[in-house]
Amino acid sequence: MQNKSYWKESVSVPARNPLAGDISIDTVIIGGGMAGILTAFLLQKKGRECIVLEAGRIGCGQTGCTTAKVTSQHNLIYAGLIKTKGEALARQYAQANQAAVREYESVIRRLKIECDWKECPAYLYADRKKTELHNEYMAALRLGIPAKWTEDTELPFRIEGALRFDAQGQFHPMKFLKALSEEITVCENTKVLKVTDNGVETDKGNVQAANIVFASHYPFVNMPGYYFMRMHQERSYVLAVKGASPLNGVYLGVDDDSLSLRTAGELLLIGGGAHRTGDNAYGGQYKKLEGAAARWWPGSKEAFRWSAQDCMTLDGVPYIGRFSARKQNWYVATGFQKWGMTSSMVSAMILSDQICGEKNPYEEVFSPQRHIGRSAAGSLIKESGHTAATLAKPSKLPEERKENVRTSRCSHLGCHLSWNPDEKTYECPCHGSRFDCKGRVTDGPAQKDISVGGES
Ligand code: FES
């Protein structure tokens, strides 16, 4: 089965022209995924002129690979946030994401966007981690989220307990993005080569702008900001099967190796197999999902399979706000963990307010300049140690791959690459860049291809 995302295959987004020469505008947004398009949309509503520059096609990155759950239920997060950041900031995080769910609903209703939006409950379920899940339930109640505890779900397997958030949502992300992007000026196939204080230089012309927004998944500028030291990336996998009974809610298991589940039309999406990018030398992630499909939904038939890449921050909270204290007119939206839909909307709400000089009620907890706290400082030390070790260690490529590739080092900062047999890609364990079997960059922060079998 070829790897193809159902979202991308089921919608055709009309092509947009590349940038045609030099222009001058209020705000330039780098990245035509959900975060970039939503930011442009909210800025336009406030009367700002903006343009979105996309290196490929609209939604061609992670937006087309998500499971598109729209929920403030972000795995086991709230109990930890209360502990590490205090109740006020944890509440800010919860309220921002609850507001994001409602804002999606409101935009969809107002613009009458046909994107299969469905209000539904979101569940976390546990088998072994019942105590941790119950702690999360208590934390959610403390923060004012209308959470419920239940042991009764529609899942075909036994669980010990589940945490339910009502009035969450799910939709078709590419149908939504297609409709919303019609309201926005977007230049596709326009690659940003350099960012300056006054705008960006691209392969198709220059854009002079008062404000610059990085919404391209992983910021490709190393300094200032140093995001490469503050994030790693993870991959996860999705199998979409036909012939399984539909689910009313969206689900995520909190035990290791448990599943993410939702229905999309006649398909059941079964997600899982997460690992740090560059750490899947033996493969087998799709096989695990095939095994789950055969066991719990016998008779179901695979229709699509695809994978996604997520940026993971040191303290588990996205970086949304000013890119760096040294660049007052640069803004960033990154580190969405595995919660790209609500995080994109939260980014759009915060950045559009900040660019317009308005205070946003949620900006503090997401500020890229926040103090990260003691446990996140530990993660920073661990990340730096991991990078140093990967730079020094010999190549982890299998012998047959070593022959094909002229350098086993990543074009970002030179870490040794590994091979992912599930994806047939070269992957960097340091910051998560990926290259296809011909050496072409598929995921940053790397910007340059590597040389494979005579092709560059
Ligand atoms: Fe940074 Fe490879 S992604 S060294």
pLDDT per position as a tens digit, 79-110? 999 999 999 999 999 999 999 999 999 999 99
Segment 340-362, tens digit of pLDDT: 999 999 999 999 999 999 999 99
pLDDT of res. 303 = 97
Q: Is 76 inside any structural domain?
A: no
How does strand 199-202 pair with strand 327-334? Answer: unpaired
- Shared domain for 209 and 309, answered yes or no, is no
Q: Is 99 inside any structural domain?
A: no
Tokens coding 337: 């963990």
Q: Count the Cβ atoms, other than its own, within 10 Å of residue 240.
A: 27
- Shared domain for 215 and 306, answered yes or no, is no
Residue 304 scores a pLDDT above 90: yes
Segment 230-271, tens digit of pLDDT: 999 999 999 999 999 999 999 999 999 899 999 999 999 999
Atom of ligand 1 nearest to the CA of 390: 4
Tell me the pLDDT band of 406, cut-offs 50, 70 and 90: low
> Do residues 398 and 408 lie in contact, with contact meaning Cβ atoms separated by under 8 Å?
no
- Shared domain for 138 and 165, answered yes or no, is yes
pLDDT of res. 397 = 73
Q: Is 142 inside any structural domain?
A: yes
Tell me the pLDDT band of 378, cut-offs 50, 70 and 90: confident
Tell me the pLDDT band of 390, cut-offs 50, 70 and 90: confident
User: Cα(375) to centroid of ligand 1, in Å?
Assistant: 24
Q: Is 436 inside any structural domain?
A: yes
For residue 146, what is the domain's CATH number?
3.30.9.10
Residue 380 scores a pLDDT above 90: no
Q: Count the Cβ atoms, other than its own, within 10 Å of residue 214.
A: 25
- Shared domain for 261 and 385, answered yes or no, is no
> Do residues 139 and 79 lie in contact, with contact meaning Cβ atoms separated by under 8 Å?
yes
**Mean of the per-residue pLDDT values for the chain?**
94
Tokens coding 365: 């907890």
Tell me the pLDDT band of 456, cut-offs 50, 70 and 90: very low
| Alpha carbon distance 435, 420 (integer Å) | 10
Residue 398 scores a pLDDT above 80: no
- Shared domain for 325 and 343, answered yes or no, is yes
pLDDT of res. 358 = 98
Domains of the chain: total = 3
- Shared domain for 159 and 34, answered yes or no, is no
CA-to-CA dists, residue 248 to 1, 155, 352, 418, angstroms: 28, 10, 34, 39
User: Cα(139) to centroid of ligand 1, in Å?
Assistant: 37
List the domain range (segments joined by +) for residue 395.
376-443
User: Cα(445) to centroid of ligand 1, in Å?
Assistant: 7
Task: Show which of 295, 313, 331 is a domain's final residue.
Answer: 313
Residue 78 scores a pLDDT above 90: yes
Q: Is 109 inside any structural domain?
A: no
- Shared domain for 11 and 49, answered yes or no, is yes
Tell me the pLDDT band of 373, cut-offs 50, 70 and 90: confident
pLDDT of res. 455 = 42
**Greatest extent of the chain over all pairs of C-alpha atoms, in Å:** 60
Task: Show which of 269, 298, 313 is a domain's final residue.
Answer: 313
- Shared domain for 333 and 201, answered yes or no, is yes
User: Cα(202) to centroid of ligand 1, in Å?
Assistant: 23
Cis peptide before 173 (omega within 30 of 0): no
- Shared domain for 394 and 364, answered yes or no, is no
- Shared domain for 156 and 256, answered yes or no, is yes
Task: Show which of 267, 289, 313 is a domain's final residue.
Answer: 313
Q: Report, as an integer, the average pLDDT of 167-195.
A: 97
> What percent of the chain shows pLDDT beyond 70?
95
Confirm or reject: Cβ of 445 under 6 Å from ligand 1: yes
pLDDT of res. 432 = 96
> Do residues 106 and 149 lie in contact, with contact meaning Cβ atoms separated by under 8 Å?
no
Identity of the amino acid at 29 = I
pLDDT of res. 403 = 61
Q: Is 82 inside any structural domain?
A: no
User: Cα(405) to centroid of ligand 1, in Å?
Assistant: 17
- Shared domain for 215 and 354, answered yes or no, is yes
Q: Is 217 inside any structural domain?
A: yes
Only one residue has tokens 């900040």, namely: 354
- Shared domain for 210 and 303, answered yes or no, is no
CA 23 to chain centre: 30
CA-to-CA dists, residue 91 to 119, 132, 145, 308, 376, angstroms: 23, 19, 9, 28, 19
pLDDT of res. 84 = 95
Q: Is 161 inside any structural domain?
A: yes
Instruction: Indicate the range of 31-35, 131-135, 407-411 predicted with least confidence.
Output: 407-411
For residue 197, what is the domain's CATH number?
3.50.50.60
Mapping DSSP to helix (H, G, I), strand (E, B) and coil, where does residue 62 land?
helix
Residue 319 scores a pLDDT above 60: yes
CA-closest residue to ligand 1 atom 4: 413
Confirm or reject: Cβ of 412 under 6 Å from ligand 1: yes
Residue 453 scores a pLDDT above 90: no
